[in-house]
Amino acid sequence: MKNNLNKKKIYLLAAIILLLIFLHSIKIIKPVETYIISGINKGGEILYGIGQSWSSFFSSSEEKVDLQNNNNDLQKQVNDLLAEKAYWQTIEKENERLKNYLQFFEDNDYEKVMTRLVSSDNLFSHNNSKTNIYLNKGESDGVEKGMAIINEEGILVGKILSVKENSAQACLSINEDCKFAAGFNNKDETLGVVKGNLGLTISMNLIPQDQNIKSGDLVVSSGLQNNIPSGLIIGRVSSVIKESNDIWQEATIEPLYDLKELNVLAVIIP
C-alpha cells in the first residue's frame, strides 16, 4: 500500500515536471518565470548588500584599529624626539655656560671649584626672603665658609654659609641675611654693606650724600671681606632715595641673575 502511494507521488511529480517543460517550451508560463527570477535576483541583491555592509563594517573597524595603533606609534616617536631635543638643548645650554665660565676665568686670575645646585629651601616659593641653596661640592674640594659663588657671567650670586665634606650650604644675594661689603664700579672705596631685600632685590643703606649715585650704576664687591675678591658684580642700581636733609642716601639694587637659571655654579677660591 505504501509502495503504491510512493509510485503515485513519483508519477505525479514527473507529470508536473513534463507539464512545466512543455509550458516553458510554448512560453505560456514566461511571465511567471520572469516574476520568480526577478524575485530571486532581488533577494540576491539584498543578501549581497548585507554582505557588503558587514564586510565594510569589519574592514572599517580593522582600519580604525590599525590607524589608532599607527597614531599611538607616531605619538610615541614624537614624544621620544621631543625628549631627545630637550636633552640636547640642555646639553647645549650647559656647554655654553661652561664656555662662558672658561672665558671669565681666562680673563680673571681666580681659582675655582665648579659645582651644581642640587636643592634649595624655597627657591620658587612666594616667600624666598631667606632662600638658601645646597651645592654638591664641599670641604674635600677646597670649599670654605664665606667664599663667593658666581654664575657663568661672573655675577656674584651668593656665598658659602656652611661646609660639609662633600656638600655646602650657601645664601643667595637676595637673602636678607646675605651681606657683602660693596662699592661702585670704577670707585676704590667701600661705600657700605649690601643685603637682600625680601628675596627680590638687594639694598644698600648709609651711602654718604656726597657720593654721586644714579640709576644704572654697577655695584661690586669691595674686597674688604674675607674670601670675597674685589670687583665681582653684585647688581645694578635701579633706584636711589636721597633726601636733602639726610646725611645718608639709599640705593635699591637689581640682581643680574635669574633664579631659574641657577644650575652650574662656581665657587671662587681666593
Nearest-CA neighbor of 200 among 177, 174, 162? Answer: 174
Query: In this model, does residue 79 exceed pLDDT 60?
Result: yes
HSE, side-chain direction, 13 A CA sphere, residue 266: 22
CB neighbour list of residue 263: distance below 8 Å, 6 or more residues apart: 94, 97, 116, 117
Nearest-CA neighbor of 131 among 185, 196, 214? Answer: 196
Q: How far apart (Å, rounded) are the C-alpha atoms in residues 101 and 194?
A: 25
What would be the CATH architecture of the domain defined by 111-269?
Beta Barrel (2.40)
pLDDT band at 100 (very low <50, low <70, confident <90, very high): low
Q: How far apart (Å, rounded) are the C-alpha atoms in residues 244 and 160?
A: 39
CB neighbour list of residue 241: distance below 8 Å, 6 or more residues apart: 249, 250, 251, 252
Calculate the dihedral angle through the C-alpha atoms of 207, 250, 229, 158, rounding to the nearest 10 degrees. 160
Q: Using one digit for the tens of pLDDT, what is the confidence trace for 165-195?
A: 999 999 999 998 899 999 888 776 667 889 9
DSSP H helices in 30-124:
30-107
User: Which pLDDT does position 40 carry in this prediction?
Assistant: 59
User: Which pLDDT does position 205 carry in this prediction?
Assistant: 85
Instruction: Tell me the domain boundaries of the chain.
Output: 1-107, 111-269
| Signed CA dihedral, 37, 41, 43, 47: sign only | positive
Q: How far apart (Å, rounded) are the C-alpha atoms in residues 237 and 194?
A: 12
Nearest-CA neighbor of 229 among 106, 142, 110, 105? Answer: 110
- Judged by average pLDDT, the poorest of 25-34, 74-83, 129-138 is 25-34
Q: How far apart (Å, rounded) are the C-alpha atoms in residues 158 and 32?
A: 106
Q: Is the pTM of this model over 0.75?
A: no
Higher-confidence position of 224 and 49: 224
User: Which pLDDT does position 33 carry in this prediction?
Assistant: 57
**What is the rounded average pLDDT of the residues 255-262?**
88
